[in-house]
Structure 1
Amino acid sequence: MTIADPNAPLQQTRTIEFSTVLASSVHDMKNSLCLLIQSIENLSNKLEQKGAEEAQELAGIHYEASRLNSNLLQILALYREDCDTLPLNIDEYYLDEILEELVAKNELYIDNRKLNIEFEIEDELAWYFDNELVANLLNDVFVNAMRYCKTSIKVKAFQQGETLIVKILDDGAGYPENMLDKLVPTPSTFNMTMSRTGLGLYFAQLIASKHIQDGNVGKIQLENGGELDGSVFTLTLP
């Protein structure tokens, strides 16, 4: 019989799952950022009569906090997808309400930069999709459009056959050539040096492809040109 050495160090019988800890931390950071964004918006309302320089700086902080919050949401969704626990809560939503809320969330930055936002949404257009995931997808695209446009953004939504088409167009310089029609299939192929991150593209493609109806799968497409002669992002949902 072997007798255990009482002076021997105890062996660790269970290791910490780092990905789980990371996901929990991301969730906490996301909640804190939401509170920070609300505080920035409240402070902005109090400073409306102050100088333009202070308002511009506050709008920039709000923009970066919103962008970081969107990135954290993407990371959390990707983690859940990797664990096969990403929920998909499909329900019917009116596109005008979803897209108007999208603009309202970014109103501080829009007003500060005096951007022109135009809607072209089919009347009474409603569709079935996961609101949280799709709204975050579109918000990430819209935030990038705000950053890279000159003065104008156009948001379109309409039904084409048996599919929903949502387009976000801007009058900026357009997508880099190496991003056009080259959607990354796996996170390992991200090019994080691109001006518009591969992470956002991968997340958008993932969420779109989660929406399947009668064998048709959602997709995204990147183009340059369009009505504003800039970048054109298209989301197609069955």
Structure 2
Amino acid sequence: MNSPSEQKNGNENYGQTPIDFSFVLASSVHDMKNSLGMLLNTLSAMMTSSPPKDAEQARFFSVLEYEAARINGELVQLLSLYRMDENTMSVVIDEHHAIDIIDEQIARNDTLLKSRNIDVQVDCDSDLIWYFDNELIGGVLNNLIVNCARYSRKQLLVSATEENGFLCISVADDGQGYPDNMLMGSLPQTPVSFSSGNTRLGLLFTRKVLELHKSKKGQGYMTIANNGPLGGGVLKLYLP
């Protein structure tokens, strides 16, 4: 039998407003993202002021930066998906030069790419203009570059061109290619892998962002394939 004090505490708690866990989680993710951003900036400054002394130290810094950048990207994606679900995501479709968004994301990951000795090639007409949300598509492209940096051997190719009335932004690498369960034929049934820690969050975020881009031509979509122009995998984003 509960004591009077226990009964009193129970009555006081009864009827309290339930916790909105999704809101609490989103707020926590936002704080973590800001802290991780500061960590990335500090790490970049440290590597600039005190460059690696040897190959082993360079590899150590490379792993640190890659993992921090990957986690930061996933936190941003989580926040964006939450806002999409809450219908609070602001989508700003405007006119942009495709080359600008490509150059911006490559520059954003300059230290990471250099630390991994990855040569990035760009193939895009400087006059190619399209309408899209620069922040959202930039986030998708950044995520692709960070992930491809892990699996590439020496090269990345980022290109943009017009295909059948759509803007096609392509990211190709010279790695071993995408696993079978990530190819488009089986993508909707792709399971979460707890052993590898792969939640497919990046793919979900990419698909949701592309679906927000619509016109009379249709809506945005993506394709994943192997045997790309550099011999490895290639992921293409299509924007109407």
What TM-score, normalized to structure 2?
0.89
Residue among 185, 188, 210 paired with 1:184: 188
**How many percent identity over aligned positions?**
37
Q: Which secondary structure state, in structure 1, belongs to the residue aligned with residue 188 of structure 2? A: coil
Q: Distance in 1 between matches of 2:219 and 2:103?
A: 26
User: Which of 206, 212, 215 is equivalent to 1:213?
Assistant: 215
Q: Secondary structure at the match of 1:184?
A: helix
Listed one character per residue, the Cα deviations across residues 65-99 of structure 1 (whole Å, up to 9, x for unaligned) are 11001000111111112212222111122111111
Note if contact 1:166-1:235 (Cα within 8 Å) is conserved in structure 2.
yes
How many residue pairs align between the two structures? Answer: 231
Query: Which of these residues, 36, 39, 61, is aligned with residue 36 of structure 1?
Result: 39
Indicate the RMSD between aligned Cα atoms, in angstroms.
2.0
**DSSP-derived class of the 1:127 partner:** strand
Give the SS at the match of 1:230: coil
Match of 2:146 among 123, 143, 146: 143
Q: Secondary structure at the match of 1:227?
A: coil
Higher mean alpha-carbon deviation, 228-237 vs 193-202, is at 193-202
Q: Is the contact between residue 62 and residue 109 of structure 1 (CA under 8 Å) also seen in structure 2?
A: yes
**Counterpart code for 2:56:** E
Q: Which residue type is aligned with residue 193 of structure 2?
A: M
Partner Cα separation in structure 2 for residue 140 and residue 12 of structure 1: 44
Instruction: Give me the whole-angstrom Cα distance separating, in 2, the residues matched to 1:94 and 1:60.
Output: 32
Query: SS at 2:16's partner residue?
Result: coil
Taking the aligned partners of 2:53 and 2:152, their CA distance within structure 1 comes to: 26
SS at the partner of 1:164? strand
- SS of match in other structure, 2:187: coil
Matches of residues 110-125 of structure 1 in structure 2 within 5 Å?
110-125=113-128
TM-score (norm 1): 0.90
2:210/2:239 contact within 8 Å kept: yes
Residue of structure 1 aligned with 2:74, choices 61, 71, 75: 71
Question: Which residue number corresponds to residue 202 of structure 2?
Answer: 200
Offset at 1:184?
2.8
What amino acid sits opposite 2:192 in the alignment?
N
What is the CA–CA distance in structure 1 between the aligned matches of 2:197 and 2:148, rounded to whole Å? 12
Match of 1:107 among 110, 119, 126: 110
Residue by residue over 1:182-233, the C-alpha shift from the partner in whole angstroms, topping out at 9 and shown as x without a partner, is 3338xxx642356864211111111111100115100011000121111010
Contact 2:97 2:126 (C-alpha < 8 Å) held by counterparts: no
Deviation at 1:49, TM superposition (A): 6.5
1-side partners of 2:197 and 2:34: how far apart? 27
Structure 1: segments with no counterpart, 5+ residues:
none
